[in-house]
Amino acid sequence: MKKVRIDLFSDTMTRPSAGMRAAMAAAEVGDEQLREDPTVNRLVEKVSELLGKEDAVFLPSGSMCNQIAMRVHCQPGDEIICEATSHVRNFEGGGASAISGASIYSLDGENGIFTADQMEAAVRPLENHFPVSRLVTIEQTANMGGGTVWPLETIEEVCQRAAKFGLARHMDGARLMNAVVASGIPAATYCDCFDSVWVDFSKGLGAPVGAALAGSKDFINKAWRFKHQFGGAMRQSGIIAAAALYSIEHNIERLAEDHSNAVLLAEGLANIEGISVQTPETNLIFLDISELGVSSEQFNERLMTHDIRTCVTGKTQMRAVTHLDVSTPQIKEAITAFQKVAQAYRQ
């Protein structure tokens, strides 16, 4: 496939920088399964501290963090409460049912965010006809909700109410650091009322691979068993943990640039006749081009002739994502290309 020059498809499109590659090449390594990889051990300590949890475990992907967390919290016949657009429900191959035997109760939130009252209404009575409500999970930021930031008060209300009903609490923090940078609220504060939380290194933080799941010592001991069972226990994984460490040390504060680029892009696109834009809170921008009378598939293909790509998320919807491999001049270039493509369809 031809390489796209301005790739707004996702923040997973970042490539490791020279500095990150140097850190990977220089990484001290050992056998991760024996807990003898010093770089992985350092990463795990750093993540525990960052998220304010007793312990953490390094995993190959964010999806595995979600799947292991659900597997620890749930048993067959249990039910997980989450938002309708969430990753655990839609984009993990039905893993909750396949791996944990759990059903999903989905809530229609606003921009990916639901209320404690909505959650409470979903909790099942303890009676043999019903699945057992076991776990509530939220996404910070809410990806398909628009990269929206869950307000801390809403999180605390949901957690407190969940505790009242004996539900475990899990946070999918694929883009938690974007929420932290956008709000100025520390990661540990967001994580405080959750039993399990994770961060992705391969999204906006710019590492090539990896995520880390955090929680109590007891939770992480259980998670380690499933890390082995799922085939996610690695060996000299310090090579990739070094990239994750580098991403924490160098690429968190700079997420602010992605957020300002997102505002720049959203404003530029909102000025184009026929394109409507959801105001971004972080680095994800959702567009609707229904007024242009063309599908997002076709529009995106036309954009590709300008060496630019977005992600098609619906018949006339698309998502554009800013990240560390897209510069401000390139955002301006992208706006011009969108103008040209929209103009061509308006005629």
Ligand X SMILES: *Cc1c(COP(=O)(O)O)cnc(C)c1O
DSSP letter at 290 equals G
Of 7, 79, 83, 172, which one interacts with ligand X (CB under 6 A)? 172
Of 7, 78, 139, 258, which one interacts with ligand X (CB under 6 A)? 139
Distance CA 204, CA 339 (A): 27
Reduced to 3 states (helix: H, G, I; strand: E, B; else coil), residue 295 is: coil
Residue whose CB is less far from ligand X, 200 or 281 = 200
Residue whose CB is less far from ligand X, 63 or 148 = 63
Residue whose CB is less far from ligand X, 106 or 276 = 106
Distance CA 55, CA 207 (A): 21
Distance CA 213, CA 234 (A): 15
Distance CA 212, CA 201 (A): 8
Residues with Cβ within 8 Å of residue 217, at least 6 apart in sequence: 54, 55
- Regarding 61 and contact with ligand X (CB under 6 A), the answer is yes
CB of 251 to ligand X, least distance (A): 16
Distance CA 14, CA 49 (A): 26
Residue whose CB is less far from ligand X, 62 or 146 = 62
**What residues between 210 and 239 interact with ligand X by CB under 6 A?**
211
**What residues between 275 and 334 interact with ligand X by CB under 6 A?**
none
What mask of x and - would describe binding to ligand X in positions 75 to 114, judged by CB under 6 A? ------------x---------------------------
Window contacting ligand X (CB under 6 A); options: 61-69, 117-125, 217-225, 270-278: 61-69
- Regarding 137 and contact with ligand X (CB under 6 A), the answer is no
Reduced to 3 states (helix: H, G, I; strand: E, B; else coil), residue 204 is: coil
Residues with Cβ within 8 Å of residue 250, at least 6 apart in sequence: 19, 20
Contact 45, 237 (CB under 8 A): no
Residue whose CB is less far from ligand X, 66 or 310 = 66
Amino acid in position 96:
A
Residue whose CB is less far from ligand X, 137 or 183 = 137
- Regarding 62 and contact with ligand X (CB under 6 A), the answer is yes
Kindly report the number of other CB atoms within 10 A of residue 8's CB atom. 26
CB of 304 to ligand X, least distance (A): 23
**What residues between 173 and 212 interact with ligand X by CB under 6 A?**
174, 200, 202, 211
Window contacting ligand X (CB under 6 A); options: 55-63, 127-135, 163-171, 239-247: 55-63
The secondary structure of the chain in percent helix, strand, coil, rounded to multiples of 5, reads 45, 20, 35
Q: What is the 3-state secondary structure of 280-347?
A: CCCCEEEEECHHHCCCHHHHHHHHHCCCEECEECCCCEEEEECCCCCCHHHHHHHHHHHHHHHHHHHC
Distance CA 35, CA 5 (A): 40
Nearest position to ligand X, beta carbon:
62
Window contacting ligand X (CB under 6 A); options: 58-66, 115-123, 180-188, 240-248: 58-66
Residue whose CB is less far from ligand X, 88 or 277 = 88
Residue whose CB is less far from ligand X, 11 or 55 = 11
* Site residues for ligand X per CB under 6 A: 61-63, 66, 87, 139, 143, 172, 174, 200, 202, 211
